[in-house]
Each structure stands twice: as structure tokens, then as C-alpha cells.
Amino acid sequence: MDTLDSTEMRAFRREVRDFVAANLPKPLEQRCRQGFHPSKEDMREWTAILHGKGWSAPHWPTRYGGTGWSPLKRMVFDIELAEAWAPAPSPFGLHLIGPVIYTFGTEQQKERYLPRILDGSEFWCQGYSEPNAGSDLASLRTAAKREGDCYRVNGQKIWTSQAQFADWIFCLVRTDNSGKKQNGISMLLIDMHSPGVTVKPIITQDMDHYVNEVFFEDVRVPAENLIGEENAGWRYAKFLLENERTSSAYLPQAKQDMKRLRELIDRMRDEHSEGIDDEALDTECAALEIEVAAHELAIYRILTDNASSQADTAASMVKIQGARLQQRLSALWVEVLGMHGLPLFQPHREHDFGDPAAMGAMSQFLIRRAVSIYGGTNEIQHGIIAKRGLHL
Amino acid sequence: MSDAMAQRRPLALGLSDDERQLQDSIERFIDHEYDLMRRRAALAEGGDDPALWRQIAELGWLGACLPETDGGYAQSPKEALILLEQFGRGLVLAPVLDAMLVPSAILRAAGQGEREAGLLMAMMSGERRLALAWAEPGRRYDLRPLTTQARHDGHQWRLQGTKATVLGAPQADTLLVSAATEQGSVLMRVPADAPGLSMTSYLTIGGQSAADLFFADVRVADDALVASAESAGAALQAGWDWGAAGACAEALGAMRAALTLTLKYVDTREQFSQRLSRFQVIQHRLAAMALELEYSQALLPLLTAHLDQRGQRSSAVIAGVRSRISAAARMVTGDAVQLHGGIGVTDEAAVSHYFRRVVALDQAWGGHRFHLQRYRQQRRDHDLIHA
Ligand SMILES: Cc1cc2nc3c(=O)[nH]c(=O)nc-3n(C[C@H](O)[C@H](O)[C@H](O)COP(=O)(O)OP(=O)(O)OC[C@H]3O[C@@H](n4cnc5c(N)ncnc54)[C@H](O)[C@@H]3O)c2cc1C
């Protein structure tokens, strides 16, 4: 039976903490503490450092560069990193396409792609959603037509995170229109630098640029970039989701937020006792501490439950709850800041005025409205629980 | 009952003919002359649209917001709330609350109406704008000044300290500044171009401009004192009550518009081969939003009845109403974003502007939890309407 309290686990935590303390560059730590999104350079740098220690992809099988740790130990690892203000690496290579490649890919694909995901040198993005295929993903229409040893790709993706700097995109494309929608979809790996690929930014309500439209106009993709079999893409897409049941639940981030919030409240209380003396804030903060603990244990249940008959529904539950926590924690963060919460970044960024922890607060609060939308909306997740869990 | 009546205006349910006329004309103006493009243009200019401000003044709406005692022609606070509600609906970026209503409420409560008659006239004609500088770094919604200090040196007042996130400060010609003195808190009138006063300006997420103010031995004459230690607390509270209440009216308009937009959107967007509006989950969510809107609207007359009424009870009622409306506005605009899906969180979508505006209105004047707490502390009895 797994436990959090063994001597081994404690020693492991200490080892991780010491490693981060010794190796996380100060500017990265500082930006993470203040709540900024990690930049491409931050992610690259930190992934390379973790890779040096053999820790960049703990969840991968050891023969591809993973660690062989248990799921619980991996989660403990992620929490330690987050609580030590390490930036989260880009998930698209390490968490999403990496496992698909080592499970379904050819030897050639494994050799070509995995090492560069592992050391952080290549970035990936996920090309699933389209203007008319959001929640109803299977309606996607971006078409790939086989022509000799190539596919010719035409169509449009939308909401593609990090496409502006990704080297590769893993795309769901339509290769057959004849039968059931799900059965005519394939997964292709497309070089973002190919002729015919255009990326257009979309600015989100925090006035930042994470998401994009990606257009494909007669893009030629070598047939060897197909994952597995043609028309079996839906299966790989489902595998990809199921493989990472708990990473979309944002537990490490929730724990990091809680820590940040506590530190902020304590500091404000030390410096200016009166404004922060607010029972209503304390009550919400206390309620959130309890919520985070429940979330943590719900996730540990998933990670340690071998029977896992209820696995998809539990995954949907922690996705919903994780999104709520992301939103409630950032709302409280902004609320604690009072008037300092009102600007997006300035003037704190330029003039170091107000609380330094204020800097990324409002922008985080705003972008986190998307957490209950991407990766399957809260409504869709509730539908999954009702259908697959409650058999309604 | 009679006690309560003495403490507030009679509750006026619905609109009078004059009020309806005012509302109609503002509505028409917005529908014909204002849109998201114009808002975007103002945002690009640092959150200011001086031509719009002149236009609003010429239409007489600034005068319509102030009571006759101030030289305006409002019968009650309702006219101002009508204007704010419509501006909320239209996402109109104009500092009616920050530059006009809050400062004038303070002058009124401080008994300066007569002395400042000229200033009030210039405000109504759109020539002059004020801004209230009350917040201090790290002290949230604590109204008592601490880090901004004023000292009288025998000839003049000398101000030292900082103020955080003063809404509308970059466009104001005059600032009302709260400051700590040995005798207690006071309010001072400080010209925006006073030597020693510097500011850092920026945009807030609600689209308004704001600034942090730095006072380095700023000197002002004796007559700059707007409220002495005896009256400053109550005057500041009166201004804050207006801020909190006015923000509710604006949020109400924003909620209504966000709901309307969402209804339209779900009726055109299709997923799974049907319109989103066919999904019962979505229907129920929209129904719940409509309920929140209705209940927020229902509470509005209590604000009209209690604004400008001195006393803790009125402040408590305003706080109670504010906590309810603020929570509803966050819920309704938040759900409106959610029901739009990905497009909802983009800067391009009008619905995200409504959400951001509502969040900013909540943040600027204390949110629902803060006001619930204030209500709890200051309430006198269990009935907000009949006492
Ligand atoms: C910041 C951000 C980053 C993203 N990153 C990526 C990415 O990297 N790659 C990628 O492929 N996609 C990405 N997405 C897209 C995301 O997965 C989609 O936005 C999501 O699937 C919802 O689709 P939609 O936006 O089309 O909304 P819609 O599907 O149109 O949904 C609109 C509303 O209707 C509701 N709804 C829809 N169907 C039903 C139903 N059957 N029952 C009840 N309610 C329903 C939804 O819950 C939602 O509230 C991202 C989105 C955002 C906002």
C-alpha cells in the first residue's frame, strides 16, 4: 500500500526540495512566485535542468528516459516542484504526445521525437479544436489526403496554445468521410515550419498571447508522420486523454496557489494589520484549504486505486474541481490585493510598487476562466459523469 | 416604521415619466452612437474619450445626475443610477462615477456644496473632473488614511505619502485626497499639477485609467481643507457609498447585456448537430442567470432610498444590497463567458469586456464578501426594508 508518510517518501521530498533549491535559477523562481506564465525560454531552461538530473519526464517508461516512480511518487514530485516555485514545463510534448509516440509510434518516430521532448529542445502544440469542432470534436474537418508518400493537409485549427513558438503540431485530421465521424480521423505530426502553415494570434482577455489560429494550405506531410494506423486517430486521442487522468486537475498549482495566498495574507497582516483583518477573507481562505485537501486526496485515490472501474468519472470529477479551484483561488488572490488587483501588470512590473505578489494576479484570474473550457468544458465533464458513471 | 422612513427616502418602485424619458434618451444614444469599436478606441487612448465626455455634458446628463442643491436637476439618486445602468449595458467608457458622482457626494456630505458651487457647475458642464484618492498601498479597503500624512506648518498644509490606484486620476484636474493628521483624518483638495505631486498612470482591467500618486512635500493653502477631522470620516463614507452603489447599477446593466448576448450566441452556435440552446443544461443555466438579474434589479430601489442619507444604517443597507448584486453580477457575467466557450475568453468578444468590467467594479469598491461583512457589522435590525 502506498503511503505519503514513509521514511522513503520523506527522504524523497527532501531530495527534490534540495535539488530545486540548488538548481532553479532565481529569475525563473521569481517570475513563478509572482504568478507570471512561464515564457518559452523559462520552460526550455527548466526542462533542460531537470533533464540533466533525469527528471524531465518522470512518468515515462525508464527505457525512454523516465524514472519508474509510482504514480503517487510522481505527484509528490510535481507538488514539491510547484511549492518551490518551479515553472510548469510545457505539457504538450511531455504529457500529451510523448506517451502516444512511445506507445503507438514507430521506432523511427521514437528516435526522432522523444529525445528532443525530453531535453526541452523542441516544443509541441495540440491541433484538435476547430471553429466548428469544439465540444463536438469528432466533427473536425481539416482534411488530409494521401498522395503517394505524402499527405496533403488543408483546413484550420483554432485555440492552438503555444503554436506561435511550437516546432511541431500533433493534429487530428479527417482522412475519411464515409462512415461514423470518429472512424475517419487520423493523427498526424506536422512540422510547424512547413510551407503552407500560417499562425495567427488570438489575444485573450488578459491581453496576452497563448492561443492561435493555425491554417493549413496544401501542406505536404510525409506519410511516415502518421501515428499508428490511418483512421484510428480517435483511439490515440482517447488514449492520450486517459493516460493523463490527473494532470488536468491542477493539484500542484492549487497547492502552490494556497501557499502564495497564505504568504501574501501573512505578509500584509505583518505590514498593515488593519486592511487585511477581514473575517470574510479568512473564512474563504479556510474553506479553500479544506477544498484543496479534499482535491489532493481525491487525486491520490485515483493514483492508488488499482480497480479503477470508475476511472473516467473520477478523472472528470477532478478536472471539474481542479478548474473550480483554479478560479476560486485566483479570485481570492485578487480579492486580497484590493485596489492593487485592478491593473493587469503595471505599474508593479515597471516600478515595483505595491505588493510584488500582485503582479500576475489579475492576469491569472482572467485567463483561468479558460480552465473550465479547455480540455473538455465543465458541462461536457458533467455529461461524462452522468453517462459513464451514473449510467443515465 | 416611521423611524425607518425618517432614515431613508420613500421607496420608489418603477420609473416616473421623467425618469423613463431620461432612460429612453440614454438608451437611444448608446444604440446609435456607441459600440465596442468606440470603446476600443478609448482603451487605446489610455481609457479616455474626451469627445464623449463633452457630448454627455452637452446632452445634460451630468447635470441630470446631481441634486438641485448642487445646481443640478436630479430629483433623487435614481437619475444617476439610470445613467450608470445604461452605461453598463452599453460598455460606455465614461467616468461618471469616479469623476462626478463620488467627488460631488463627498463635497455634499462635507457641507461644501455652496462654497464649491463654481466647481460643481464646471463639473456638470464637463470642464472639470475630480478624482478621489483614498486607497493606500497594501491596505485594501481601509478608508482611514495612514501613509498619506498632512501637517500644517503655520502657513499652509504640507502633504507627504502615497495613494494607490486612484481611478480617473490621470484626467482629473483636482484630487480629493484623504490624509492623516495629528487630529485625525482629513480630506484635502489638491490640484493635479501641484509641485511635488507625481503619478504613474495605467489602465485597469475595467478599461478605466488609474494612477498611483506620490506626494513629496506637496503644499496647499488653508482653504484646500474640504473636510476636517470631525467630518472627513462621514464624508469619505458618503463618497464610498456612492461608489459601491453606482458600481452596482453599472454592473446590473452589464449583466443584462451579457445575458442578452449569451442568449443570442447559444441560439446560433451549433455543436453535436444542434443549437446549444436546445441543451437543457444550458437552458437551466440561462434561467438561473435571468433569476439573478431579476433579483438584482429588484434591489435597486433600496440604493436610491439610502444614498446621501447620513448614518450607519443607510451605509449598512447599501453594503447589504451591494454584496447581493456584486455576487450576482460576477456569476452572471462569468457564466456568460463559460457558455460562449473558447471565444468567451478572448479580447475580441464583447462578453469578455462585460466580465472584466464587472470584476473591476467589484474590485474597485469592495466585493461581495467584503460588503457582506460590513453589512453584518453595521446592521441595526433584521429587516432591510421596514425597520
Ligand atoms: C485558453 C485556451 C486554450 C486552448 N488550448 C487548446 C489547444 O492547445 N489545442 C486544442 O485543440 N484546443 C484548445 N482549446 C480549445 C478548447 O478545447 C475548446 O475551447 C473547448 O473544447 C470548447 O469548445 P468551444 O470553444 O468550441 O465551445 P463550444 O463547444 O461551442 O461550447 C460552448 C458552450 O456550450 C457548452 N456545451 C457544448 N456542448 C454541450 C452539451 N452537449 N451539453 C451541454 N453544454 C454543452 C459548453 O460547455 C460551453 O459552455 C483551448 C481553449 C482555450 C480557451
Does the beta carbon of A308 lie under 8 angstroms from any beta carbon of chain B? no
| Higher-scoring residue by pLDDT: B113, B341 | B341
Q: Does A181 touch chain B (CB under 8 A)?
A: no
The verdict on a CB contact (< 8 Å) between B334 and A369 is: yes
Tell me which chain B residues have a C-beta less than 8 angstroms from the C-beta of A339: 135, 140-141, 164-165, 363-364
* Interatomic CA distance for residues B32 and B92, integer angstroms: 12
Q: Are B300 and B317 in contact (CB under 8 A)?
A: no
Name which CATH class applies to B131-227.
mainly beta
One-letter amino acid identity for A58? P
Q: What percent of chain B stands above pLDDT 70?
A: 98
Ligand 1 centroid vs A134 CA: distance in angstroms? 5
Q: What is the pLDDT of residue A273?
A: 62
Report how far ligand 1's centroid is from the alpha carbon of A192 (Å). Answer: 23
* CA distance to A64, B45, B218, B337, per residue, from B288 (Å): 51, 37, 52, 15
Active-site positions of A read 244
Cα of B338 from ligand 1 centre, angstroms: 9
* Cβ atoms B351, B262 nearer than 8 A: yes
Query: Number of C-alpha atoms within 13 angstroms, CB side, residue A17?
Result: 9
Positions of CATH 1.20.140.10 in chain B: 232-378
Q: CB A369 to CB B203 under 8 A?
A: no
C-alpha–C-alpha distance, residues B338 and B351, integer Å: 10
pLDDT tens by residue, B316-363: 999 999 999 999 999 999 999 999 999 999 999 999 999 999 999 999
Residue B354's nearest CA partner among B259, B245, B249, B243 is B259
Strands, E assignment, B106-227: 130-133, 149-152, 157-167, 174-181, 184-191, 197-203, 209-220, 225-227
C-alpha distances in Å from residue B104, one per residue of A144, B59, B97, B124, B166 = 66, 19, 10, 10, 16
User: What are the cell numbers at A340?
Assistant: 492593487
Q: How far is CA A314 from CA A308, A319, B176, in A?
A: 9, 9, 55
Residue A353: per-residue pLDDT: 45
Q: Is the CB of A69 under 6 A from ligand 1?
A: no
pLDDT of B34 reads 96
Instruction: Give the residue range(s) of CATH 2.40.110.10 domains in chain B.
Output: 131-227
| pLDDT recorded at residue A1 | 59
Of the candidates A203, A205, A280, the beta carbon closest to that of B370 is on: A280
Q: From the CB of A91, is ligand 1 less than 6 Å away?
A: no
ipTM of the complex: 0.95
Tell me how many degrees the CA angle A237-A243-A247 measures, rounded to the nearest 5.
110
- Give domain B232-378's CATH superfamily: Butyryl-CoA Dehydrogenase, subunit A, domain 3 (1.20.140.10)
* CATH fit for domain B2-129, picks 1.10.540.10, 1.20.90.10, 3.40.50.720, 3.30.390.30: 1.10.540.10
Please give the single-letter amino acid code of residue A126: Q
Contacts by residues B152-159 (CB-CB < 8 Å, ≥ 24 positions apart): B152/B181, B152/B222, B156/B219, B156/B220, B156/B221, B156/B222, B157/B188, B157/B219, B157/B220, B157/B221, B157/B222, B157/B224, B157/B225, B158/B217, B158/B218, B158/B219, B159/B188, B159/B190, B159/B196, B159/B215, B159/B217, B159/B218, B159/B219, B159/B220
- Name residue B189's beta-bridge partners: B176
pLDDT at position B206: 93
Contact between B41 and B93 (Cβ < 8 Å): no
A376 touches B at CB < 8 Å = no
Query: Which residue intervals of chain B bear CATH 1.10.540.10?
Result: 2-129
One-letter amino acid at B304 equals T
Cell numbers standing for residue B30: 448608446
pLDDT over 50 (residue B181): yes
pLDDT for position B6: 56
| A202, A353, A377 member nearest B341 (Cβ) | A377
Q: Please report, in tens digits, the pLDDT of each residue of chain A (392 residues total).
A: 567 889 999 999 999 999 999 999 999 998 888 888 899 999 999 999 999 999 999 999 999 999 999 999 999 999 999 999 999 999 999 999 999 999 999 999 999 999 999 999 999 999 999 999 999 999 999 999 999 999 999 999 999 999 999 999 999 999 999 999 999 999 999 999 999 999 999 999 999 999 999 999 999 999 999 999 999 999 999 998 877 778 889 999 999 999 999 988 888 888 766 667 778 888 999 999 999 999 999 999 988 876 555 777 899 999 999 999 999 999 999 998 889 889 876 544 444 445 555 678 898 999 999 999 999 999 999 999 999 999 99
Task: State the nearest Cα–Cα gap between A287 and chain B, in angstroms.
Answer: 13
Integer Cα distance of A297 and A290 in angstroms: 11
Distance B205 CA to ligand 1 centre (A): 24
Å between A372 CA and nearest CA of chain B: 7
The whole-number pLDDT of residue A348 equals 46
CA distance B128 to B99: 9
DSSP A337-373: HGGGGSBSSTTHHHH--S-GGGTTHHHHHHHGGGTTT
Q: Which amino acid is at B301?
A: P
β-strand A209-222 against A197-203: which pairing, if any?
Answer: antiparallel
What CA–CA distances, in Å, run from B28 to A243, B34, B350? 56, 10, 19
Q: Could you identify the residue written with the cell 477631522?
A: B229
Tell me the nearest-neighbour CA distance from A337 into chain B, angstroms: 6
Task: Go through the domains of chain A in sequence order and give each one's CATH number.
Answer: 7-89 (no CATH), 124-232 (2.40.110.10), 245-389 (1.20.140.10)
Q: Does A359 touch chain B (CB under 8 A)?
A: no
What's the rounded Cα separation, in Å, for the pair A223 and A236?
17
**Is the Cβ of A279 closer than 8 Å to some Cβ of chain B?**
yes
Q: Does the distance separating the beta carbons of A158 and B139 come in below 8 Å?
A: no
Residue in chain B lying closest to A368 (CA):
B345
> What pLDDT shows up at residue A264?
86
